[in-house]
Amino acid sequence: MNAHDIAGMIDHTLLKPEATHADVAALVEEAVALGTYSVCVSPNMLPVTVPEGSGLKVAVVCGFPSGAHDSRVKAAEAALAAENGADEIDMVISVGAAIEGDFERVEADIAAVREAAPHPVLLKVIIESAALDDTQIVEVCRAAERAGADFVKTSTGFHPAGGASVHAVALMAQTVGGRLGVKASGGVRTLADAQAMIDAGATRLGVSGTRALLAGEQRAGGAY
């Protein structure tokens, strides 16, 4: 794939706690210029104005970054995000529940958000794959599908265990079998990284250093 094709798969992301509304406005301007699919921002930045006719989508995180929120809180956050114009919601699961093997609780958590923000809002489920073993990854992906999610997503980009890996993306893609999308996020910093994730089955990419990635420049550091 060329850089233009890859740009159309990117959620251009700004989730730094210190981000300002001016930063988000600049993010939108850059996203339109680069041709990304969406911008992904924190919920306190909503509503986000995008240029008319640009086709740019607005994604917002939910239960971020820990996922250690009561499901009712996540549901309320998702409902408010949808009310404030979010096209897509990227929610974080209860990672501890997944590690405990309580996949019914994981499913119920996702279902609560799905109910609060029904279609046409698109729901991506962040599973924090680097913190899970293969069995847990598979079971969480299955729970997400049962709960009505549209995507499974590797990572917040903030967990100390790390971000996306080719192995995790491939396993997630195999599990959902094309019925759900797969978003690779966390540490996708070069065109080679992006292509490797796409080859493994990713259908969306979460990237903060989008301009550098598309220009083929190595981006150092950064959590996301």
Among candidate residues 11, 124, 150, 153, the one labeled active-site is 153
Known catalytic membership, residue 90: yes
Known catalytic membership, residue 74: no
Among candidate residues 11, 90, 150, 193, the one labeled active-site is 90
Known catalytic membership, residue 23: no
Which 3-state string (H, E, C) describes the chain? CCHHHHHCCEEEEECCCCCCHHHHHHHHHHHHHHCCCEEEECHHHCCCCCCCCCCCEEEEEECCCCCCCCHHHHHHHHHHHHHCCCCEEEEECCHHHHHHCCHHHHHHHHHHHHHHCCCCCEEEEECCHHHCCHHHHHHHHHHHHHCCCCEEECCCCCCCCCCCCHHHHHHHHHHHCCCCEEEEECCCCCHHHHHHHHHHCCCEEEECCHHHHHCCCCCCCCCC
Among candidate residues 109, 124, 150, 183, the one labeled active-site is 183
**Catalytic center residues:** 90, 153, 183
